[in-house]
A and B are shown apart, each in its own frame.
Chain A
């Protein structure tokens, strides 16, 4: 399991725009660099990030080899109802990680 740092508000007012900030530990090996033995290191990157709120996709991103290690992704969404936010990172070598957070919406 890769380490993850998440900055997600636990509560929000109805209709409020909230910022979701995510940071995940990943080498993001480009597939173009030679290793110490001169052989090109195989590509190992996160290919896709998706965020779903109550089953509905609210944000998605395709990642490419030019993105730095430990990618930081941030997006905003409108808090409409109380529910579960599911964050999923998928990548090479079978990388697949899911984090879930509850967001309580008041008013």
Chain B
């Protein structure tokens, strides 16, 4: 009985210790880059947020209906939404990420021309929606229908791939915090997407980041929007549950 009580007493300590060990890539950036992210007039990601605000209120499709026509003000309607994605999509009976949901809403409800992945418009709308959740904890949905995809994401994350025969976990779990050439290896917590990467000189999605890692180990990347990417996104969101959303973040 006393042993059980001890374990129960220690459990919260273990959990908080594990939570402290998780680091956002933000914490390992240079102070100058951190300052750039935190100042909305110096964070280049805010250029896309401004563009997204315009698109949110701009009529699209044959009915001339803007996003705001159904959803109203994004400040209230979209607060916390990005923190819950990827989520389960009833229509396709499959998991869907935030950019995919925006694409789907645009095609099915507005009847507007589709926005390709990584297009400026889709990045802008995603950044604008994600901006409304900045500062909120990442809260993946507790939907058991997502569990198979999460398990697949975990399997993909630990699977060796490419000519270099490396898995995501070998860098981002086993060697996180160390350096690969001059760059810090982060812990793979997607806390700020879509984010402005100084290397890209542009805003980009988590799928673009995953694609970069895959070509880096000389593996064949999946096509944008592939279910494999969404599965990895789901798994990464689960790992980062409770961490603060920073979108649009800045990374080196």
- Chain B 1-56 residues near chain A, CB threshold 8 A: 39-44, 46-47, 50-51
Contacting A5 at CB < 8 Å: which of B47, B198, B201, B202? B47
In the complex, A98 has a CB within 8 A of chain B: no
- Chain A 51-71 residues near chain B, CB threshold 8 A: 68-70
Q: B41 to chain A: which residues have CB within 8 Å?
A: 5-7, 21, 23
In the complex, A10 has a CB within 8 A of chain B: no
What is the distance, in angstroms, from A53's C-beta to the closest C-beta of chain B?
20
Q: A23 to chain B: which residues have CB within 8 Å?
A: 41-42, 44, 47
With A3-B51, A5-B47, A23-B47 as contacts: A72 and B202 at CB distance below 8 Å = no
User: How many residues in A have their beta carbons less than 8 Å from beta carbons of B?
Assistant: 12
Query: Complex formed: what's the CA distance from A19 to B99 in Å?
Result: 37
What is the distance, in angstroms, from A70's C-beta to the closest C-beta of chain B?
5
Query: Complex formed: what's the CA distance from A70 to B196 in Å?
Result: 11
- Chain A 6-33 residues near chain B, CB threshold 8 A: 6-7, 21, 23, 25, 28
User: How many residues in B have their beta carbons less than 8 Å from beta carbons of A?
Assistant: 13
A69 touches B202 (CB 8 A): yes
- Dominant SS at the B interface? loop
What is the distance, in angstroms, from A102's C-beta to the closest C-beta of chain B?
17
B42 touches A3 (CB 8 A): no
Query: Complex formed: what's the CA distance from A50 to B46 in Å?
Result: 23
Query: Complex formed: what's the CA distance from A54 to B202 in Å?
Result: 35
Q: B39 to chain A: which residues have CB within 8 Å?
A: 7
A3 touches B47 (CB 8 A): yes
B51 touches A5 (CB 8 A): no
Q: B44 to chain A: which residues have CB within 8 Å?
A: 23, 25, 70, 72
- Chain B 174-222 residues near chain A, CB threshold 8 A: 198, 201-202
Query: Complex formed: what's the CA distance from A5 to B41 in Å?
Result: 5
Q: B47 to chain A: which residues have CB within 8 Å?
A: 3, 5, 23, 25, 70
Q: A3 to chain B: which residues have CB within 8 Å?
A: 47, 50-51
Q: A5 to chain B: which residues have CB within 8 Å?
A: 40-43, 46-47, 50
A70 touches B42 (CB 8 A): no
What is the distance, in angstroms, from B88's C-beta to the closest C-beta of chain A?
35
Q: B46 to chain A: which residues have CB within 8 Å?
A: 5
Q: A72 to chain B: which residues have CB within 8 Å?
A: 42, 44
What 9 A-B pairs have minimum CB-CB distances, sorted nearest first? Answer: A7-B41, A69-B201, A3-B47, A70-B44, A25-B47, A5-B41, A3-B50, A68-B201, A5-B46
Of the A-B pairs whose beta carbons lie under 8 Å apart in the complex, a sample of 29, sorted by A's number, is A3-B47, A3-B50, A3-B51, A5-B40, A5-B41, A5-B42, A5-B43, A5-B46, A5-B47, A6-B41, A7-B39, A7-B41, A7-B42, A21-B41, A21-B42, A23-B42, A23-B44, A23-B47, A25-B44, A25-B47, A28-B201, A68-B201, A69-B201, A69-B202, A70-B44, A70-B47, A70-B201, A72-B42, A72-B44
Interface set of B (CB-CB < 8 Å, partner A):
39-44, 46-47, 50-51, 198, 201-202
